[in-house]
Amino acid sequence: MRLQLIYRYDALTYQGEWCTGKILASSNNEAFIKLTQQQKLPIKIRLFKIVLFQDADKQYRIQLFEQLALLLHSGLALLPALTLLKDECRYSHWQCVLEDIIFNLMQGGSFSKQLTRYPLYFPITLSRFIFIGEESGKLDEVITLQIIQLKKHREIVKKIKKAFKYPTFLLTVLTLITSIMLLYVLPEYQSLYSAFNTELPILTLTLITFSQWLTDYISMIVFIFIGLIVAYRLIRHSFSLLYFFEQTFFLHIPYLGKLLKYQQLHLIFQIISITQQAGLPLLQGLKIGIEQLTHPIYKQVLSQMSDHIMQGKSLSLFMKNEPLFTPICYQFISCAENSGQLLYFCQQLSDWFYHQLDEQLNTISAWLEPILMTVVALIIGTLIIAMYLPILQLGDTIQ
């Protein structure tokens, strides 16, 4: 749940000491249970603040782990490092999370296990990588690698939003202006035209007819449109096969398909390179990749790739025969197998697909915006001409 409740409490510790503080919980009862687990006897619990998990929290998560990696690398132990970060934290809900993690670490719990208790704040893949860092003794290195991945992911999301922000704005303005002119402005002009007692131009007559039809059925159209969207989402959620076919269709759409392919391939090779750098075997890295990917087709492909490697076959051979991997994947991985430098070539492929994704977004922005501007000009221009054409025609008749 993105909505987070913070409770303020007054309590007694089991040693008889009075304490006050804040705790994150979904209800008053849960706050009571959590305080009991922290060996505190609640005297008074009251709602302090309601916060919404936002994009700023994702940015703070990167900042938090960046500082944690720096403190660990400088030689500070995990517990003092987290305590220092909690004291400097300016977000009350993050302070509650860190305080709970610190308490459980003091009771002997592992860091990765504590992160799994807060899936909204720490995704499951992040917790898994932290577990890898704990097991390998390279916690600071693994955290640093995860920071790089999180930053690149945020950069990609920002670039995609930036590429489609202006076109979305244009389409919204176009829909709004066209609706106002058809539903409100054109009917007013219609009463003016009827006073002329002359035959209207075909363009104007067509638009007036369409405007009347739209006015009569606008409620039904909106209801059907919303109903279709809701029905499709319900069916899509219930039948995974439909979602699979939908994503397959998206992969075959020009430009959009390339965007999806480059984004998924960048993520795949980034995960492989991170797991290789952490000292994990390839099969375990692929397993993490399957868990981390959200695209159903590439999840299936990675699962097939894992089975292929378990049979003793080469990774490059699978990529050569799989159309979802571009030819450069086979070429680079083939070189990696021959040279024994899988980590290096996976890093190169990850960077290459990242730059290809960036170029593809710039290309889409370059041709999409002028096309939309032309469409807006044509539609608005047609509406204006249709409205004023009868007036100009009347002037010619009077002359």
Give the domain CATH number at 276. Answer: 1.20.81.30
Residue 178 sits in which domain range? 167-399
> In a 3-state reduction of DSSP, which class is residue 198?
coil
Q: Around Cβ 188, how many Cβ atoms within 10 Å?
A: 9
Query: Which segments of 107-201 does DSSP mark as H helices, in order?
Result: 111-115, 124-136, 139-180, 186-196
pTM of the model as a whole? 0.77
Residue 30's alpha-carbon distances to 6, 12, 299, 365, in angstroms, are 11, 17, 36, 49
Question: Does residue 233 lie within any of the structural domains?
Answer: yes
Question: Does residue 128 lie within any of the structural domains?
Answer: no
Q: How far is CA 95 from the centre of its chain?
A: 25
Q: How would you write the pLDDT of the chain (399 residues) with one tens digit per residue? A: 567 788 999 998 888 888 888 888 888 888 888 888 888 888 898 988 888 888 888 889 999 999 999 999 888 899 999 999 999 888 888 999 999 899 889 888 889 899 988 888 988 878 888 888 887 778 888 888 888 888 888 888 888 888 888 888 888 888 898 888 888 888 877 777 776 666 778 888 888 888 888 888 888 989 999 999 999 888 888 887 888 888 889 888 888 889 899 999 998 998 898 888 878 888 988 988 888 888 899 999 999 999 999 998 889 999 999 999 999 999 999 999 899 899 899 999 999 999 998 888 888 888 888 888 888 889 888 888 888 887 777 665 555
Question: Does residue 330 lie within any of the structural domains?
Answer: yes
Domain count, the chain: 2
| Confidence at residue 98, expressed as pLDDT on a 0 to 100 scale | 92
For residues 44 and 185, state if they share a domain.
no
Question: Does residue 83 lie within any of the structural domains?
Answer: no
| Confidence at residue 255, expressed as pLDDT on a 0 to 100 scale | 84
Question: Does residue 148 lie within any of the structural domains?
Answer: no
For residues 48 and 172, state if they share a domain.
no
Q: What end-to-end distance do the CA atoms of the chain give, in Å?
A: 71
CB 85 within 8 A of CB 68: yes
- CATH number for the domain harbouring residue 17: 3.10.20
For residues 178 and 32, state if they share a domain.
no
For residues 346 and 211, state if they share a domain.
yes
Q: Which of 25, 52, 79 is the last residue of a domain?
A: 52
φ, ψ dihedrals at 14, nearest 5°: -65, -15
Q: Which of 19, 36, 52 is the last residue of a domain?
A: 52
Q: Which of 37, 52, 67 is the last residue of a domain?
A: 52
Question: Does residue 326 lie within any of the structural domains?
Answer: yes
Q: Around Cβ 25, how many Cβ atoms within 10 Å?
A: 20
Question: Does residue 185 lie within any of the structural domains?
Answer: yes
For residues 375 and 229, state if they share a domain.
yes
Question: Does residue 327 lie within any of the structural domains?
Answer: yes
For residues 46 and 187, state if they share a domain.
no
For residues 30 and 177, state if they share a domain.
no
